[in-house]
Amino acid sequence: MEVLNVKDLSVSFSNGNELFTAVNKISFSLYSGKTLGIVGESGSGKSVTSLTLMQLLPKSKGTTINGVANFNSKSNKQVDLIALSEEDIRQYRGSDMAMIFQEPMTSLNPVFTCGNQVAEAIKLHQKVSSKEARLKTIELFKKVKLPRPEQMFDAYPHQLSGGQKQRVMIAMAISCNPKVLIADEPTTALDVTVQASILGLLKELQQETGMAMIFITHDLGVISQIADEVVVMYKGNIVEQGQTKLVLENPLHPYTKGLLSCRPASNINLKKLPTVSDFMKVNEDGFFSETGITITQLRSELALTEDDRNNQKIKLESQNTILSVKDLVVSFPTRKNIFGKVTSSFTAVDHVSFDVRKGETLGVVGESGCGKTTLGRAILRLVDSSSGEVNFEGNNILNYSDKEMRLLRKKMQLVFQDPYSSLNPRLKISEAITEPMIVHSIGSSKEERMYLAEQLLVKVGLNADALNKYPHQFSGGQRQRICIARALSVQPSFLICDESVSALDVSVQAQVLNLLNELKAENNLTYIFISHDLSVVRYMSDTMIVMKNGKIEEAGEARAVYEDPRSEYTKSLLSSIPH
């Protein structure tokens, strides 16, 4: 049964001087018990489409919405969602249609318990008592498989993991048994195992209730796991749509081919990752032309031969060890007595040891809470270690004074996961990049530092005019390039990349990964690459370690660990990767 029929939907924004069309005359249908996947990069219009259907776009004079979105409500009344007044849409929003947002931490109110927030939604739409709402909420927490549902009711958002917060959001969304559930990037930046469990949960709930679902993502691997039909969007237009299996096995549009090729392949080793630009060239007016190359041809051209791999291995084995970590322990106090003495603690990194050679990329992989980020910060002395050694270029830096560490930071740098929160929104890009140069006395004058900053931006693929702009004027991928430029501004020899591509579109992710490899070869850099994505770690790394509960679960050559894992935990991580 058709639940939703969208015809010629268009959304435009105007600032008075310029008109931007975010969604351009798109049409699609949604059916009971089925999932429609909407896929595309940031700026493709997929989220704007969902917000328009829910009437959640900010009201402004510059916003123009045209088209029809016919919806069959629970009462079998057909309404046009676009034409409804703000008061009328409230009857359907929450009860007939619900939405799960990308970032659960910002979607949940930090000052209210998780249970109260779900109970409030139930009381609003179902007119039940507080006691009944509490019981219904606990039942929902059981349904979405949250541990200890009664305790979770009284827990605050900051006390839950990312996956648990997303389950709370799902419980809230399904609390009124909606006919349509819109899931907007609900698994982005989640661990592969948590992602797999969330996808499985949504499918179970759909089979149980018969609801229709719109699933929005930039990852075609995820779409293949959950969607019956797929719509591919590019710059506000639908460029391809059809049954998921047919579209993924035989993509017709070059943009779809590019998206499919951007993810690191599990069965082939590549010198560099393909990008959308390999399949289509876009001119200044936004029109594109096909390059004519196929996925098979491109992967054949970029394939890494066995000789290439052996030569890399021989070269790496001839290098000296630049970093040696021995029995490193990092513990955090969890309870103190009235005299301030620690009575219990949590061990985040538990007797970890490994070596990294000059020019090597060591991948560190594991789920949230495994200790990988704490390990990276402990190596850079951003958190205190309880015991062990971190020997960099032959010296145990855990014994260094603050002054010695300041000098060492010129050699050791960190690229964070979230580029937006890594950059000061009040500083221009020129200031963000030249500030570390001033601290480390690089460049004899302001003019020389500006010249160096300009060269760095060009090196990471941005124009020099970016220097005079602020962080909010850039996309996520561009901001991450700026963060990489800032890290390189002090000419380091060692970089730790902490989940530095996890929240990026797959196409932008491929560009940043290629950039990191180019910079590594050009500047003879050494990397520790931290991620929860085994496919990315396999592509980037020479060697890798798998962490669980603060310990190293498995270690070895990246390819060997990926293709022949010994640990059951590693096997479970690999089996959770969507293909």
Is the four-CA dihedral 264, 267, 271, 276 of positive or negative sign? negative
Strand partners, 288: 282
Q: Return the structure tokens found at 229.
A: 């039909």
Asked whether residue 254 falls in the same domain as residue 266, the answer is no
Residue with tokens 């969304």: 173
Asked whether residue 198 falls in the same domain as residue 160, the answer is yes
- Cα 551 to Cα 420, 509, 535, 545: the distances in Å are 31, 28, 21, 10
Which of these three, 491, 521, 537, is where a domain ends?
491
Residue 351 or residue 339, greater confidence = 351
From 119, 132, 202, 206, select the one nearest 166 (Cα to Cα). 202
* Mean pLDDT, the chain, integer: 91
Report if residue 525 sits inside a domain: no
Kindly indicate the confidence band of residue 288, based on its pLDDT and cuts at 50, 70 and 90: confident
Asked whether residue 226 falls in the same domain as residue 291, the answer is no
Asked whether residue 284 falls in the same domain as residue 251, the answer is no
Is the pLDDT at 159 greater than 90? The verdict is no
Average pLDDT, stretch 24-40? 96
Share of the chain above pLDDT 90, in %: 61
In angstroms, how far is the first alpha carbon of the chain from the final one?
30
What DSSP letter does each residue of 314-347 carry, written as one string?
A: HHHHTSPEEEEEEEEEEEEEEEE-TTS-EEEEEE
**How do residues 228-269 score in pLDDT, each as one tens digit?**
999 999 999 999 999 999 999 999 999 999 999 988 877 788
Segment holding 388, helix H or strand E:
strand 387-392
Residue 39 or residue 461, greater confidence = 39
Q: Return the structure tokens found at 78.
A: 């057909």
In this prediction the pTM is 0.86
- The number of folded domains in the chain is 3
Strand partners, 496: 414, 528
Report if residue 441 sits inside a domain: yes
The pLDDT assigned to 189 comes to 65
Count, in order, helices (H) and strands (E) of the chain. 23, 22
From 538, 443, 423, 440, select the one nearest 485 (Cα to Cα). 423
Asked whether residue 119 falls in the same domain as residue 201, the answer is yes
Asked whether residue 276 falls in the same domain as residue 236, the answer is no
CATH of residue 222: 3.40.50.300
Residue 482 is part of which domain span? Answer: 416-491
Is the pLDDT at 205 greater than 80? The verdict is yes
Report if residue 136 sits inside a domain: yes
The pLDDT assigned to 285 comes to 67
